[in-house]
C-alpha cells in the first residue's frame, strides 16, 4: 500500500515540485482570468475582492507528503497535557489501479459527481456560478475538490475554506493528470459501512473484485457517495433508496452517451446480488474509557455543528491526526475507577431481579465546567456498554435532587421565601385530578407540622416543596431557573416536576451540572469534556471556552449551600459525608417505587452526582439503598485526600438574625420555652429579606391540666378550674389554623398547638357546654365562648394581674410597646414556674416519641 501512496507524488510535470505551487505567482493569463471571475463572483455576493487574495495567501500548502491516503492517528490528552489514548480508525481500504477499474464504474462516478471532469481545470465555474446564484457558496464540488477535501480533511463550510480549496484544486490539476486524480478519488471515496474506495466497497457489497462489477453494480457504488448513510445498501431503507438512485445514474449515463438504451434497460432490470451483511468487515471494538467515548461524541457533535457531515466528523476524529485536549483529570478518574471496579459496591442483593446493579458518576469543576472524570456503569467496561453517566439516551427521574433546582433555589432568589419561612407540613390536596386526595405525601406519609424551609429541604419533605411551588412560585419562574441550570423542561408545568418527577428524566452529567450554580456563586457553566482540538497542522479546529449564565444571586447560592450542608450533617445525606473536615453540601434523591437513588453534592472544589439503580426499572431494596451515597462518599474522599481544607466563601449581602423556627420571625423569649426545646436559631438571609417582627406564633396561655382533649392537649383554664390544676404553658398558634379535624389529627405537632376549648370538667354548666362545643367547633377555633362571656374576661383580669399578656398573646395583638413590656414581665414570672409543668410536658414528649415509632412502623 505504501508504494502506492508514493506514486501520487509524481506529477505529469515531474520537474515541478508540488509543494511550491501554492505560492507561485507567475500566473498564466488563464489563471488570472479564473481569479478575476472568482473575485467578481464574490464581489457580487457582497464580499470584497481583497478577501479572496487574503484567503489564498493563508491557504496551506498541499505538499507531496500530504498526497497520501494513509489515515493519521489522532490523540487524546488529559488536563495535564499527557497522552491518554491514540484514536486509530479501522479503515477498510483496498488500493486498486485505475486500469483494473471498469470503465462503467469510472463513468458512473463522473456522470453523477462531475460530468465535466475531463474539461474543467479543477473547479467548475458553471457549477460555482449556479451555486452562488442559487443562494450559497457551497455545493459544486468537482472530483478534484473532493480529493482535496479528503486529503486535507478540512471540511468546514466557510467561504474562506472554499476559496482555498478552489485555489489548491487549480494547482493539483497542473501537477497530476486527470487519470491520476480520478484514480486517487476512486481509492479515497467513502462508500458507507466503513468502506473507503471502490475496491473495498465492491468486496463488501457484492463480494467480488471491482474489475468484475456489472454495470448495474457500478451504478450502485457511484450512488452511495452523495449520502452514505442514506444510501447504505446494508440498511433496509438504504437498499430501497440506492436502487432509485442507481436508476437515476443509469439515466444520466445514457444521456451522456456512456451507455446505450439496451445497456440501460438491462442494468436497470438486473437483479442485484448483494453479499451477506454478516460477512462485512465489522468496526474494531475500541477499548476506550467512558470518558473518551464522551469526548469523541462531543467533538463529533461540535464538528457537525461546524458543518461537517457525520462521516467527515468521524473520519476527522479517527483518521485526521487531530489532537484533542480534554478536561480529564487522571487522578480523579483513578479515584473513581477504583470504586467502580470494586465489586463490593455492587454485590447482588436484590432478590427481585437477576440484573446486576448499575451506577454512574460525574465530577465537574464548577468554576469552569470542566468534567474531571466520569464512569458509566458498575464494574469493568467491556465493549460498548451504555454510558449511564453522560449518554443523552439516559433519562432517569431525578427525585428530590430537583427540589433545590426548581423550588428552594428559585423561591429564595425571587425573595418569595427565606430559609426561615415557616410552612405548614400538613395535609394538602394539590392533585388537580383528585382534589380529595392528600397530595403530595411525604416519603413516610407523616406530617411534621410547622417547619422552616431550611428544615423541610434538609428532611426532603414533599408537602413543603409542593406548597412552595403551589403558593409562592409559578411554574414559569421555576422552570426558567431550571432551564438556566441546563435542564429545559419548559413544557412540564406541573407539580410533580417540583417533586423530581418530570416526564423526561436526566443523566448524572446534567444533574451535576445543574448544581454548578450553587457551587459557583450562582453562575451556571456549561459542562465540557475538552478545551480544544488541533488539526494535524496544529491549527485550532475547535475551542471550548467556559460559557457562564447567571442563575442565582451569590447570596442565594450561599444560603442554599448552607442548607445543603445540613443535609449532610443532620438530614437525609449523612451517609454521603466523608470525613476529614472538608465542607460538603448535597442532596439525596429517591424516585417512585425506589427505582433510582441519587446523590448530588459539592465541596469548595468539585461538584459530583452519583446514580444507582437498574437498567430496567427495579425497586432498590433496603440492603442496597445507601449505595449512591456510599459511592459518592468514597470517591470524593479519595479525590479530596490531598486537598487543603477550604470553606465556602460567604459573599457580601448576607444578614444573620436570631429567629424562631415556628414563625420564621425574630425570636422572642417565649420561643425558648417551646416544650420541644428552644426553637431559636441563627438564620442567614439575603439582605432585605430578614424578618423585622417578633414571633407571634408562640403564645402562653393558662390551661387546666386535669384532663386532656382528644389530641392529648390540656384545656384552656375556665373560671371554675381550681388553681391547683391550672398552669401557664407555651404553645404555638398557627396563623392559618388547620380547620379540617382529620387533617389536624394528622399533623405531628398537634399537641403543641394552642388549645381552643375551655375546660368542660370544672364548668358548672359543663354538660350543656360540652354539647355546645362539639357543634360550635365546626366554625373554627377562634371565637368560642371567650368574647361571648364577659364574665370570664373580668374574672381573669381580677385573678391574674398579667391577664393582659394572656389576652394579647392569645388574640395575637401584642404589637404595642406596652404590651411587649408586659410580656417581658410576664415571661419572667412564667419562667420561674416553668418547672411546675415540665413533668407534664415530658409526658407529652414521650407520647410524641410513641407516635414517631408508630409512624415508622407505617
Would you count residue 335 as binding Zn ion (CB under 5 A)?
no
Distances (CA, A) of 700 to 50, 315, 335, 620, 671: 88, 79, 57, 47, 10
Would you count residue 96 as binding Zn ion (CB under 5 A)?
no
Instruction: Name which of 743 and 761 has its Cβ closer to Zn ion.
Output: 761
Give the sign of the dihedral formed by CA 256, CA 261, CA 262, CA 266: positive
Residue that is written with C-alpha cell 452529567 in the block? 509
Stretch that binds Zn ion, among 66-74, 552-560, 602-610, 713-721 (CB under 5 A): 713-721
Tell me which residue of 134, 140, 170, 142 sits closest to 45, measured CA to CA: 134
Instruction: Name which of 62 and 680 has its Cβ closer to Zn ion.
Output: 680
Give the nearest distance from C-beta 393 to Zn ion in angstroms.
51
Would you count residue 608 as binding Zn ion (CB under 5 A)?
no
338 is annotated as an active-site residue = no
Instruction: Name which of 153 and 698 has its Cβ closer to Zn ion.
Output: 698
**Contact (CB, 8 A) for 662 and 450:** yes
Give the nearest distance from C-beta 836 to Zn ion in angstroms.
16
From the list 41, 74, 113, 683, the catalytic residue is 113
In angstroms, the CA 236 to CA 276 distance is 14
Give the nearest distance from C-beta 823 to Zn ion in angstroms.
12
Residues near 506 by beta carbon (within 8 Å), at least 6 away in sequence: 395, 396, 398, 487, 514
Instruction: Name which of 587 and 662 has its Cβ closer to Zn ion.
Output: 662
Helix 627-640 / helix 330-340 crossing angle, nearest 10 deg: 150
Stretch that binds Zn ion, among 73-81, 366-374, 553-561, 694-702 (CB under 5 A): 694-702
- Three cell numbers at 458? 434538609
Instruction: Name which of 535 and 674 has its Cβ closer to Zn ion.
Output: 674
Instruction: Name which of 611 and 715 has its Cβ closer to Zn ion.
Output: 715
Backbone angles phi, psi at 666, to 5 degrees: -60, 140
Distances (CA, A) of 340 to 164, 355, 379: 49, 17, 5
113 is annotated as an active-site residue = yes
Residue that is written with C-alpha cell 465555474 in the block? 125
Instruction: Name which of 431 and 772 has its Cβ closer to Zn ion.
Output: 772
HEC states along 351-405?
A: CCCCCCCEEEEEEEECCCCEEEEEECCCCCCCCCCCCCCCCCCCCECCHHHHHHH
Backbone angles phi, psi at 561, to 5 degrees: -60, -40
- Three cell numbers at 153? 480533511
Would you count residue 428 as binding Zn ion (CB under 5 A)?
no
Q: Which helix (H) or strand (E) holds 2?
A: helix 2-7
Stretch that binds Zn ion, among 54-62, 324-332, 686-694, 705-713 (CB under 5 A): 705-713
Give the nearest distance from C-beta 843 to Zn ion in angstroms.
18
Stretch that binds Zn ion, among 155-163, 216-224, 635-643, 715-723 (CB under 5 A): 715-723
Instruction: Name which of 693 and 794 has its Cβ closer to Zn ion.
Output: 693
Contacts to Zn ion from residues 609-648, by CB under 5 A: none
Would you count residue 671 as binding Zn ion (CB under 5 A)?
yes
**Contact (CB, 8 A) for 715 and 704:** yes
Stretch that binds Zn ion, among 87-95, 224-232, 343-351, 699-707 (CB under 5 A): 699-707
In angstroms, the CA 507 to CA 91 distance is 33
Give the nearest distance from C-beta 676 to Zn ion in angstroms.
11
Residues near 103 by beta carbon (within 8 Å), at least 6 away in sequence: none
Distances (CA, A) of 602 to 68, 349, 412, 439, 511: 50, 29, 20, 31, 12
Tell me which residue of 548, 620, 541 sits closest to 588, measured CA to CA: 620
- The C-alpha angle 783, 785, 787, rounded to 5 degrees, equals 70
Give the nearest distance from C-beta 659 to Zn ion in angstroms.
8
Distances (CA, A) of 360 to 249, 379, 612: 50, 10, 7
Give the nearest distance from C-beta 715 to Zn ion in angstroms.
6
Q: Which helix (H) or strand (E) holds 729?
A: strand 726-732
In angstroms, the CA 31 to CA 64 distance is 22
Would you count residue 110 as binding Zn ion (CB under 5 A)?
no
Contacts to Zn ion from residues 823-852, by CB under 5 A: none
Give the nearest distance from C-beta 376 to Zn ion in angstroms.
50
Instruction: Name which of 582 and 660 has its Cβ closer to Zn ion.
Output: 660
Would you count residue 245 as binding Zn ion (CB under 5 A)?
no
Stretch that binds Zn ion, among 336-344, 373-381, 703-711, 741-749 (CB under 5 A): 703-711
DSSP secondary structure letter of residue 280: S
From the list 200, 400, 485, 668, the catalytic residue is 400
**Contact (CB, 8 A) for 609 and 515:** yes
Give the nearest distance from C-beta 484 to Zn ion in angstroms.
36
Instruction: Name which of 114 and 694 has its Cβ closer to Zn ion.
Output: 694
Number of residues binding to Zn ion, judged by CB under 5 A: 12
In angstroms, the CA 348 to CA 356 distance is 6
Tell me which residue of 424, 421, 423 sits closest to 743, measured CA to CA: 424
Stretch that binds Zn ion, among 71-79, 132-140, 236-244, 690-698 (CB under 5 A): 690-698
Would you count residue 171 as binding Zn ion (CB under 5 A)?
no
* R_g of the chain computed on alpha carbons: 38
Helical ranges in 527-553 per DSSP H: none
In angstroms, the CA 581 to CA 566 distance is 14
Give the nearest distance from C-beta 728 to Zn ion in angstroms.
14
Measured from the Cβ of residue 433, the count of other Cβ atoms closer than 10 Å reads 6
Strands of 88-244 (E only): list them.
Answer: 92-93, 195-196
Would you count residue 699 as binding Zn ion (CB under 5 A)?
no
Backbone angles phi, psi at 448, to 5 degrees: -95, -10
Instruction: Name which of 275 and 766 has its Cβ closer to Zn ion.
Output: 766
- x-marked contacts with Zn ion along 753-792 as a string, rule CB under 5 A: ------x-xx------------------------------
Instruction: Name which of 136 and 791 has its Cβ closer to Zn ion.
Output: 791
Stretch that binds Zn ion, among 266-274, 506-514, 622-630, 652-660 (CB under 5 A): 652-660
Would you count residue 313 as binding Zn ion (CB under 5 A)?
no
Residue that is written with C-alpha cell 459573599 in the block? 651
DSSP secondary structure letter of residue 703: E
Out of 296, 721, 730, 754, the only residue in the binding site for Zn ion (CB under 5 A) is 721
Instruction: Name which of 649 and 828 has its Cβ closer to Zn ion.
Output: 828
Give the nearest distance from C-beta 447 to Zn ion in angstroms.
20
Would you count residue 9 as binding Zn ion (CB under 5 A)?
no
Would you count residue 695 as binding Zn ion (CB under 5 A)?
yes
Out of 704, 730, 738, 796, the only residue in the binding site for Zn ion (CB under 5 A) is 704
Would you count residue 730 as binding Zn ion (CB under 5 A)?
no
Out of 221, 660, 684, 716, the only residue in the binding site for Zn ion (CB under 5 A) is 660
Stretch that binds Zn ion, among 359-367, 476-484, 608-616, 702-710 (CB under 5 A): 702-710
In angstroms, the CA 677 to CA 666 distance is 17
Give the nearest distance from C-beta 693 to Zn ion in angstroms.
11
Out of 162, 372, 597, 698, the only residue in the binding site for Zn ion (CB under 5 A) is 698
Would you count residue 464 as binding Zn ion (CB under 5 A)?
no
Catalytic residue numbers read 113, 400
Residues at the interface with Zn ion (CB under 5 A): 660, 662-663, 671, 695, 698, 704, 706, 721, 759, 761-762
Amino acid at each position: 500500500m505504501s508504494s502506492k501512496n508514493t506514486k501520487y507524488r509524481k506529477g505529469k510535470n515531474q520537474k515541478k515540485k508540488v509543494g511550491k505551487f501554492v505560492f507561485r505567482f507567475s500566473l498564466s493569463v488563464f489563471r488570472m482570468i479564473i481569479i478575476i471571475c472568482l473575485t467578481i463572483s464574490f464581489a457580487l455576493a457582497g464580499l470584497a475582492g481583497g478577501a479572496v487574495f487574503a484567503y489564498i495567501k493563508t491557504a496551506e500548502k498541499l505538499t507531496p507528503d500530504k498526497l497520501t491516503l494513509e489515515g493519521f492517528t489522532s490523540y487524546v490528552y488529559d488536563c495535564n497535557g499527557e497522552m491518554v489514548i491514540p484514536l486509530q480508525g479501522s479503515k477498510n481500504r483496498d488500493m486498486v489501479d485505475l486500469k483494473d477499474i471498469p470503465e462503467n464504474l469510472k463513468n458512473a462516478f463522473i456522470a453523477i459527481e462531475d460530468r465535466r471532469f475531463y474539461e474543467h481545470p479543477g473547479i467548475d465555474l458553471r457549477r460555482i456560478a449556479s451555486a452562488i446564484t442559487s443562494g450559497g457558496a457551497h455545493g459544486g464540488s468537482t472530483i478534484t475538490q473532493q480529493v482535496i477535501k479528503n486529503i486535507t480533511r478540512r471540511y468546514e463550510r466557510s467561504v474562506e475554506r472554499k476559496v482555498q480549496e478552489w485555489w489548491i484544486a487549480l494547482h493539483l490539476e497542473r501537477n497530476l493528470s486527470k487519470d491520476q486524480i480520478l484514480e486517487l478519488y476512486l481509492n479515497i471515496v467513502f462508500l458507507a459501512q466503513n468502506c473507503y474506495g471502490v475496491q473495498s466497497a465492491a468486496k463488501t457489497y457484492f463480494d467480488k473484485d471491482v474489475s468484475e462489477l456489472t454495470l448495474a453494480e457500478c451504478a450502485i457504488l457511484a450512488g452511495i457517495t452523495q449520502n452514505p448513510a442514506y444510501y447504505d445498501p446494508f440498511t433496509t431503507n438504504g437498499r430501497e433508496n440506492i436502487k432509485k438512485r442507481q436508476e437515476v445514474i443509469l439515466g444520466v449515463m445514457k444521456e451522456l452517451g456512456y451507455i446505450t438504451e439496451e445497456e440501460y434497460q438491462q442494468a436497470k432490470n438486473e437483479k442485484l446480488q448483494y453479499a451477506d451483511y454478516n460477512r462485512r468487515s465489522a468496526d474494531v471494538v475500541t477499548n476506550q474509557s467512558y470518558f473518551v467515548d464522551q469526548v469523541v461524541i462531543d467533538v463529533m457533535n461540535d464538528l457537525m455543528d461546524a458543518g461537517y457531515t457525520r462521516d467527515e466528523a468521524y473520519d476527522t476524529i479517527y483518521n485526521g491526526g487531530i489532537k484533542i485536549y480534554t478536561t480529564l483529570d487522571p487522578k480523579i478518574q483513578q479515584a473513581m475507577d477504583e470504586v467502580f471496579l470494586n465489586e463490593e459496591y455492587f454485590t447482588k442483593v436484590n432478590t427481585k431481579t437477576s440484573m446486576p446493579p448499575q451506577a454512574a458518576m460525574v465530577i465537574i469543576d464548577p468554576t469552569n465546567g470542566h468534567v474531571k472524570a466520569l464512569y458509566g456503569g458498575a464494574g469493568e467496561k467491556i465493549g460498548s456498554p451504555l454510558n449511564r453517566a453522560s449518554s443523552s439516551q439516559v433519562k432517569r427521574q431525578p427525585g428530590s435532587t430537583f427540589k433545590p433546582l426548581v423550588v428552594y433555589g428559585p423561591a429564595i432568589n425571587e425573595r418569595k421565601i427565606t430559609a426561615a419561612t415557616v410552612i405548614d407540613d400538613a395535609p394538602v390536596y394539590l392533585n388537580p385530578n383528585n382534589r380529595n386526595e392528600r397530595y403530595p405525601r411525604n416519603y413516610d406519609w407523616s406530617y411534621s407540622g410547622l417547619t422552616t424551609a431550611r428544615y423541610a429541604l434538609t428532611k426532603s419533605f414533599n408537602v413543603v416543596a409542593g406548597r412552595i411551588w403551589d403558593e409562592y412560585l409559578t411554574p414559569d419562574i421555576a422552570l426558567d431557573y431550571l432551564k438556566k441550570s441546563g435542564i429545559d423542561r419548559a413544557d412540564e408545568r406541573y407539580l410533580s416536576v417540583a417533586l423530581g418527577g418530570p416526564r423526561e428524566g436526566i443523566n448524572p452529567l446534567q444533574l451535576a451540572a445543574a448544581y454548578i450554580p450553587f457551587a459557583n456563586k450562582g453562575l451556571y457553566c456549561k459542562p465540557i469534556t475538552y478545551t480544544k482540538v488541533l488539526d494535524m497542522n496544529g491549527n485550532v479546529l475547535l475551542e471550548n471556552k467556559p460559557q457562564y449564565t447567571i442563575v442565582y444571586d451569590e447570596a442565594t447560592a450561599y444560603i442554599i449551600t448552607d442548607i445543603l450542608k445540613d443535609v449532610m450533617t443532620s438530614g437525609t445525606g449523612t451517609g454521603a459525608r466523608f470525613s476529614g473536615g472538608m465542607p460538603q453540601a448535597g442532596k439525596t434523591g429517591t424516585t417512585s417505587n425506589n427505582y433510582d437513588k441519587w446523590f448530588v453534592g459539592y465541596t469548595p472544589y468539585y461538584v459530583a452526582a452519583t446514580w444507582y439503580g437498574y437498567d430496567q426499572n427495579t425497586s432498590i431494596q433496603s440492603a442496597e439503598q445507601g449505595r449512591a451515597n456510599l459511592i459518592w462518599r468514597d470517591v470524593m474522599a479519595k479525590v479530596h485526600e490531598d486537598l487543603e481544607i477550604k470553606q465556602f466563601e460567604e459573599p457580601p449581602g448576607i444578614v444573620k438574625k436570631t429567629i424562631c423556627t415556628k414563625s420564621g420571625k425574630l425570636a422572642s423569649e417565649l420561643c425558648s420555652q417551646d416544650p420541644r426545646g428552644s426553637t431559636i436559631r441563627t438564620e442567614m438571609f439575603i439582605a432585605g429579606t430578614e424578618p423585622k417582627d417578633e414571633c407571634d406564633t408562640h403564645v402562653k396561655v393558662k390551661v387546666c391540666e386535669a384532663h386532656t382533649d382528644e389530641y392529648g392537649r390540656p384545656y384552656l383554664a375556665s373560671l371554675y378550674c381550681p388553681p391547683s390544676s391550672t398552669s401557664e404553658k407555651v404553645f404555638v398558634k398557627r396563623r392559618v389554623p388547620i380547620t379540617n379535624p382529620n387533617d389536624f389529627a394528622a399533623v405531628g405537632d398537634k399537641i403543641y398547638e394552642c388549645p381552643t376549648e375551655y375546660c368542660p370538667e370544672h364548668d358548672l354548666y359543663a354538660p350543656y357546654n360540652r354539647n355546645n362545643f362539639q357543634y360550635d367547633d365546626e366554625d373554627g377555633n377562634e371565637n368560642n365562648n371567650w368574647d361571648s362571656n364577659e364574665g370570664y374576661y373580668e374574672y381573669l383580669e381580677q385573678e391574674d394581674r398579667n391577664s393582659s399578656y394572656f389576652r394579647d398573646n392569645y388574640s395575637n395583638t401584642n404589637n404595642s410597646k406596652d404590651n411587649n413590656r408586659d410580656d417581658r414581665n410576664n415571661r419572667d414570672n412564667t419562667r420561674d414556674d416553668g418547672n411546675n409543668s415540665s413533668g407534664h410536658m415530658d409526658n407529652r414528649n414521650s407520647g410524641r416519641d410513641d407516635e414517631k415509632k408508630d409512624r415508622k412502623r407505617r
